[in-house]
Amino acid sequence: MDTMLTLSRAVVGVIGAGVLLMTITSLAGGEPITDPVFPGGLILGASCLGAAAWTGSTVAWQALVVWLGLAAVLVTIAIVGAITVGTTDPSVYPYFFVPAAFALAAVGVLARARLVAGALGARLREG
């Protein structure tokens, strides 16, 4: 399970780093900050990096960042999936669904690890 947890953290961390990199380079390229995509990209990227870093944390605010990051990945997969299915040919579907399957598996592993550590940061202790 440790290998799966490490790989899952890496997948979510790469998603977060990629989103942050794309957002920051777009802003540096002169795109206006008033576009709502950019604050969303910063929040998504930071929360994904937080989810990768703090999956097993016992601190409540870090646990909330983990859940926010995992929810952000799920929402992003749903939005991009709807766009992919609605606007492209079926021959393009594997280019979305294969990486989405890896991301969904990573979210599942991290969610399980977060629940084991305590859903909201409080570890269950034996009396």
pLDDT tens digits along 11-49: 999 999 999 999 999 888 888 878 888 888 899 999 999
Q: Which residue type does 92 have?
A: V
Identify the pLDDT of residue 27. 84
Identify the pLDDT of residue 126. 39
Find the helix packing angle between 37-53 and 2-28, rounded to 10°. Answer: 150
Identify the pLDDT of residue 32. 82
CA distances from 28 to 20, 22, 33, 35, 40 (A): 12, 10, 10, 14, 16
| C-alpha–C-alpha distance, residues 88 and 69, integer Å | 28
| C-alpha–C-alpha distance, residues 25 and 52, integer Å | 22
Tens digit of pLDDT for each residue in 55-103? 988 888 999 999 999 999 999 999 999 999 999 899 999 999 999 999 9
Identify the pLDDT of residue 124. 43
Identify the pLDDT of residue 123. 55
